[in-house]
Amino acid sequence: MASNHRPTLQVRQPYDGELISELETMNWADADRMLDRAARAHKNASGRLPAHRRVEILRKLAALLRDRIETFAVLIAREGGKPIRDARIEAERAVTGIELAADHISHIQGREIPMDLSRAGEGRLAFTRREPIGPVVAISAFNHPLNLIVHQVVPAIAVGCPVIVKPAETTPLCCKRFVELVHEAGLPEELCQMCLCDNATAEQLVTDARVSLFSFIGSARIGWYLRSRLAPGTRCVLEHGGVAPAIICHDANMESTVRSLVKGGYYHAGQVCVSVQRIFVDNRIKSEFLDLYAARTAQLVAGNPIEEETDVGPLILPREVERVSSWVEESISDGARVVTGGEKVNDRVYAPTILLDPPVNALVSTQEIFGPVTCIYGFDHEEQAVLQSNALPVAFQSAVFTRDLDRALGLSSQLEASAVMINDHTAFRTDWMPFAGLGVSGLGVGGMSHTMEEMTHEKMTVIHSQTPHSILPQMERF
């Protein structure tokens, strides 16, 4: 315990359990003070940072982070278990995200509303502006401990919303150091605060009436529950997960398809909300595909994320290894065949696994596994693959592999998904594209510019001229 007797949280490496750091946690009194500071900052409209200052701060923040990419990459690997090569890419993406937000500030703008479309509107000029919605509370996930924080915090800074962020308990260090960089870049502390607290305090924080927007990345069960508890008027953006399908047509380029799917299925040990999980393969090429896919998957190196040669790191907690193992064992007992993997490397690492023809109602076929497991199913007709792809209440990103453009477009139109990747894996993402779950998988739209729009509201001003022969109607038509 710390000297003031606050509870502490131990942050440990997922790979070996080594203690990295110990942080004090906060209680409701702390969270309440944070909310009060955020609410007062928002209400002080005359004291809000002008756009040019927000641009300056974000540009400086990007530069500060760019100088520390390797430091953050090592921290991502240590506290999150992501292989160091992928961790560097995450840190680089975070810099890009900040730069995108700074660039997009000039595009947050209103519009003119024509008023002389009816006699009642004559003599009036109307226009809108985008204004910050108010205090934002963000709850983040462990799997991208820097870049997810950037996607939730930086849009709020960009549009002028005070933000309070709660990182995942397993990966708070990236968030802590990032918030420190935000302050170093010049943002007043009350405009960006980190709240490391227990779940009860987090729920109290999220559901407080002073919160204008709640941003959540995590499980559907928790996200939809918290949405049901929000105060009236609180806007909500949820990003959950899926059981991402990929359809492999008979004319697909085999080598590039296999390479893409191995990356999309086993990146970060499958701990990605759009990770490839269900692969539907035309039976005419199923055997050839399976041989190549298994051979490439078997080459993946699972182990210590700090080591350069590692492709697949640990799962975030030992209990997740046990869960994945139990799901795989259930599918095997019900008829699935293990092509490769299917076992623990140790208590913290699960071997990259391919399951052939698991039952369609098995957990590995219906639930997001969030582990290094992909499932292969054959089909005779593309309609069968589409029906199975669309059979679940979750829908996020899907993929189609084919050389035929007409076939690609036809399948894309039939798949229930917010995005369909053609000849690319389901986990593909750039930080400026719209990113959204459908159905149970989410609410609202992510992506830097889209989140910035979510965090503003459109305010209209209508000017009624009191002067005869006013120029206002002519101004409108001009």
Residues labelled as active-site residues? 239, 273
Task: Characterize 152-185 residue by residue with b for buried, 16 or more Cβ atoms within 10 angstroms of its Cβ, and e for exposed.
Answer: bbbbbbbbbbbbbbbbbbbbbbbbbbbbebbeeb
Task: Characterize 386-416 residue by residue with b for buried, 16 or more Cβ atoms within 10 angstroms of its Cβ, and e for exposed.
Answer: bebbeebebbbbbbbbbeeeebbeebbebbb
**Cβ neighbours of residue 136 under 8 Å, at least 6 residues apart?**
152, 156, 161, 162, 163, 164, 211, 212, 213, 214, 215, 455
User: Strand 163-166 to strand 136-139: parallel, antiparallel, or no bridges (unpaired)?
Assistant: parallel
- Counting beta carbons within 10 angstroms of the beta carbon of residue 305, is it exposed (0 to 12), middle (13 to 18) or buried (19 or more)? buried
Dihedral sign, Cα of residue 203, residue 205, residue 209, residue 215: negative
179 closest CA partner among 149, 211, 134? 149
**How many other CB atoms are there within 10 angstroms of residue 30's CB atom?**
18
Q: Is the Cβ–Cβ distance between 122 and 114 less than 8 Å?
A: no
451 closest CA partner among 441, 443, 459, 460? 443
Q: Is the Cβ–Cβ distance between 401 and 424 less than 8 Å?
A: no
Output the CA–CA distances (angstroms, integers) from residue 133 to 43, 161, 175, 200, 381, in the order listed. 11, 7, 23, 25, 49
Angle at 268 between CA 300 and CA 303, to 5 degrees: 50
**Cβ neighbours of residue 207 under 8 Å, at least 6 residues apart?**
226, 229, 230, 231, 234
Beta-bridged to residue 70, according to DSSP, are none
Q: What's the gap between Cα 244 and its chain centre?
A: 15
Dihedral sign, Cα of residue 319, residue 427, residue 265, residue 238: positive
